[in-house]
């Protein structure tokens, strides 16, 4: 029997979770529900890709085998691998075989892997572990034990955690999904009363004093984070949001799952939704779009039917920023029949842009690139016909001057922007203000110009596609207003109606639902 080689460092929790998930994925994709099925071994060392090596058989001729490290994949290879992965099992499913909600769960839950929720892993891929961690590694071995969580990494500078009086309760199991809510016990209610008094006093110092006594009160952390952000203290604002997420995760129910896609949460207690949304906004600004995309999927998973923060207006932008073009196109194809995503300007323009980027990837086959190019042209022309008011503001933000024919044509002129409903104006302003930087590329602009001229030819020829165009907009629902307020994009905020801008907006609960939970009453002062 050969002598044992020294073991490597124990794997991190993200690697352990990823290993368990990938093993489950292989069993599921192969239809193996028992734990005894073994496929044929490949020639050579008889080991499949991603499978652990079997222990050496005792023999006099046994030799040591060194483990080979797999080369890192390029972003393009990762995209191709993702499209061919067993995780894409939903491609062959029919909507009739699965219910609408079950289909959405199947699509979103596959990607919410724990290792993708840690921004340090994304930064390591960009800059290397040494640049990200620096001299932190030796210190981590000597630090005291800290409760391990998935959403954030606890810091040594944070106060010692103590129970806040908040707990998560399982309400019911319905339609294959488990519905949860947060409960406020008596001690949390007392702190909440003090917090509301501090907010009414209009003095931030009162909230600071309250946090000194109750360092993990969630609403105080959310409100103070907004104040720090307004004072340009981004680091402190981000730290407070992470502490709020840590406090909320400590109250999770034992069966509440972040990745299985069957856990639902009621927005009438909005703290967890808001903390996740604000955290992903900080991640995107920090340069971690892939991690922000995973948090966006997580928010959508909590309530995919109602989408209380309307993250459908954001998921396309994060997918493009993270270069997850295949995910965006698959997402659009699966959800279009149920949610009419093509009626949203952000999907109408972002999906053809994703197909255009796919057509530019040299790693793809020429036939696949040609198909992506055709789809991109067809969908961008449809988007320009459906939403002509997007073009001129988009060119203006990109500092591009249109040619004489486009500038003088009434189809894309000022009348297209004036005649559109206010709700559509809010969505187009939001999309242009958020994604204009993705359109600045010279290749993208040349592709857009070609299709704009093709649309003008269709308009002049009275093409049936132009004559039959319809947009269904009356008034925007409350979740869109809430999304615009949280996004803080000035073009969209300026387009909000008076009934929204005239009421006070609090960072810990902007535009609360009309049926908010009032489970306890403040005592009279």
Indicate whether 264 belongs to any domain. yes
- Please give the full DSSP string across 465-483, using - where no structure is assigned: HHHT-----S---HHHHHH
Query: Which of 282, 306, 330 corresponds to the end of one domain?
Result: 306
Beta carbons within 10 angstroms of residue 309's beta carbon: 26
Cα 257 from Cα 230, distance rounded (Å): 34
Domain CATH number, residue 251: 1.25.40.10
Cα 228 from Cα 221, distance rounded (Å): 10
Cα 334 from Cα 341, distance rounded (Å): 10
The single residue listed with the structure tokens 């949001």 is 241
Domain match, 109 and 240 both: yes
Per-residue model confidence (pLDDT) at position 107: 54
Beta bridge partners of 166: 184
Query: Which of 433, 450, 476 corresponds to the end of one domain?
Result: 476
Q: Which of 351, 271, 349, 347 is nearest to 309 (CA)?
A: 271
The rounded Cα 31 to chain-centroid distance in angstroms is 30
Indicate whether 363 belongs to any domain. yes
Indicate whether 78 belongs to any domain. no
Q: Is 450 within 8 Å of 381 (Cβ atoms)? A: no
Cα 459 from Cα 469, distance rounded (Å): 11
Q: Is 493 within 8 Å of 485 (Cβ atoms)? A: yes
**Which residues, other chains included, contact 39 with Cβ-Cβ below 8 Å and sequence gap of 6+?**
30, 48
Domain match, 278 and 379 both: no
Domain match, 300 and 352 both: no
Indicate whether 199 belongs to any domain. yes
> Which domain covers residue 173, as residue numbers?
98-128+149-155+163-306
Cα 86 from Cα 55, distance rounded (Å): 27
The two beta strands, 177-184 and 263-265, are parallel
Domain match, 450 and 326 both: yes
Q: Is 256 within 8 Å of 177 (Cβ atoms)? A: no
Indicate whether 386 belongs to any domain. yes
Q: Is 517 within 8 Å of 269 (Cβ atoms)? A: yes
Q: Report how many domains make up the chain.
A: 2
Q: How far apart are the two ends of the chain, measured CA to CA in Å? A: 80
Indicate whether 263 belongs to any domain. yes
- Please give the full DSSP string across 173-220, using - where no structure is assigned: EETTEEEEEEEE-HHHHHHHHHHHHHHHTT-HHHHHHHHHHSTT-HHH
Query: Which of 260, 280, 306 corresponds to the end of one domain?
Result: 306
Domain match, 295 and 424 both: no
Cα 89 from Cα 94, distance rounded (Å): 11
Residue 76 in 3-state DSSP? helix
**CA distances, 267 to each of 165, 247, 279, 302 (Å):** 19, 18, 17, 9
Per-residue model confidence (pLDDT) at position 249: 95
Residue 52 in 3-state DSSP? coil
Average pLDDT of adjacent 10-residue blocks, the chain of 525 residues:
45 49 44 40 40 45 50 49 36 37 51 70 80 60 63 91 93 93 93 93 94 96 95 95 96 90 91 96 94 94 94 97 96 92 96 97 90 96 95 95 92 88 94 96 96 95 82 83 94 91 87 74 68
The single residue listed with the structure tokens 């239809």 is 31
Indicate whether 143 belongs to any domain. no
The single residue listed with the structure tokens 């709700």 is 423
Cα 314 from Cα 396, distance rounded (Å): 22
The single residue listed with the structure tokens 């801008």 is 501
Q: Is 358 within 8 Å of 369 (Cβ atoms)? A: yes
Cα 446 from Cα 79, distance rounded (Å): 25
Residue 334 in 3-state DSSP? helix
Residue 168 in 3-state DSSP? strand
Cα 392 from Cα 376, distance rounded (Å): 20
Please give the helix or strand (H or E) that residue 172 lies within, else none. Answer: strand 166-174
Domain match, 340 and 458 both: yes
Per-residue model confidence (pLDDT) at position 221: 97
**CA distances, 486 to each of 266, 278, 495, 505, 510 (Å):** 19, 8, 14, 10, 8
Indicate whether 64 belongs to any domain. no
Domain match, 263 and 373 both: no
| Angle, CA of 383, 387 and 390, to the nearest 5° | 100
Domain match, 124 and 238 both: yes
Laid out side by side, the sheet with 177-184 consists of 166-174, 177-184, 263-265
Per-residue model confidence (pLDDT) at position 116: 79
Domain match, 390 and 302 both: no
Domain match, 417 and 441 both: yes
Q: Is 63 within 8 Å of 2 (Cβ atoms)? A: yes
Domain match, 343 and 267 both: no
Cα 326 from Cα 359, distance rounded (Å): 11
Domain match, 224 and 343 both: no
Cα 21 from Cα 18, distance rounded (Å): 5
């Amino acid at each position: 029997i050969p002598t044992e080689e020294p073991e490597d460092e124990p794997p991190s929790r993200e690697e352990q979770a990823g290993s368990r998930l990938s093993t489950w994925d292989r069993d599921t994709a192969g239809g193996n529900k028992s734990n005894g099925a073994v496929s044929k071994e490949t020639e050579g060392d008889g080991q499949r890709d991603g499978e652990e090596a079997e222990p050496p058989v005792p023999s006099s001729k046994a030799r040591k085998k060194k483990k080979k490290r797999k080369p890192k994949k390029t972003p393009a290879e990762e995209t191709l691998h993702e499209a061919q992965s067993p995780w894409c099992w939903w491609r062959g499913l029919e909507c009739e075989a699965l219910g609408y909600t079950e289909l959405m769960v199947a699509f979103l839950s596959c990607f919410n892997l724990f290792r993708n929720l840690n921004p340090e892993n994304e930064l390591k891929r960009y800059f290397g572990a040494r640049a990200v961690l620096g001299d932190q590694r030796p210190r981590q071995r000597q630090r005291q034990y800290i409760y391990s969580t998935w959403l954030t990494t606890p810091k040594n500078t944070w106060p010692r955690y103590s129970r806040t009086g908040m707990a998560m309760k399982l309400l019911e199991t319905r339609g294959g999904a488990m519905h949860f809510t947060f409960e406020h016990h008596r001690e949390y209610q007392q702190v909440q009363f003090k917090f509301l008094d501090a907010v009414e006093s209009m003095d931030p110092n009162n909230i600071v004093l309250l946090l000194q006594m109750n360092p993990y009160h969630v609403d105080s952390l959310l409100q103070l984070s907004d104040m720090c952000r307004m004072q340009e203290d981004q680091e402190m604002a981000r730290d407070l949001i992470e502490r709020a997420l840590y406090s909320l995760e400590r109250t999770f129910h034992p069966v509440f799952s972040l990745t299985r896609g069957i856990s639902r949460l009621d927005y009438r207690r909005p703290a967890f939704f808001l903390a996740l949304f604000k955290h992903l906004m900080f991640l995107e600004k920090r340069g971690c779009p892939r991690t922000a995309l995973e948090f966006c999927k997580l928010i959508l998973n909590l309530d995919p039917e109602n989408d209380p923060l309307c993250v459908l207006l954001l998921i396309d932008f994060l997918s493009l920023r993270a270069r997850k073009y295949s995910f965006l196109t698959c997402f659009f194809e699966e959800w279009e029949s149920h949610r009419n995503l093509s009626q949203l300007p952000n999907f109408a323009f972002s999906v053809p842009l994703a197909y255009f980027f796919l057509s530019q990837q040299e790693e793809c086959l020429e036939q696949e690139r040609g198909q992506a190019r055709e789809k991109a042209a067809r969908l961008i022309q449809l988007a320009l016909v459906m939403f002509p008011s997007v073009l001129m503001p988009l060119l203006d933000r990109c500092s591009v001057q249109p040619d004489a024919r486009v500038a003088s044509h009434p189809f894309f002129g000022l009348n297209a922007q004036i005649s559109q409903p206010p709700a559509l104006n809010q969505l187009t302003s939001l999309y242009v203000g958020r994604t204009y930087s993705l359109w600045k590329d010279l290749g993208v602009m040349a592709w857009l110009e070609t299709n704009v001229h093709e649309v003008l030819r269709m308009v002049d020829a009275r093409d049936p596609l132009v004559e039959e165009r319809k947009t269904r907009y009356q008034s925007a629902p409350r979740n869109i207003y809430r999304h615009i307020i949280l996004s803080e994009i000035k073009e969209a905020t300026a387009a909000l109606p008076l009934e929204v801008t005239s009421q006070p907006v609090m960072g810990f609960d902007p535009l609360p639902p009309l049926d908010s939970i009032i489970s306890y009453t403040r005592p009279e002062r």
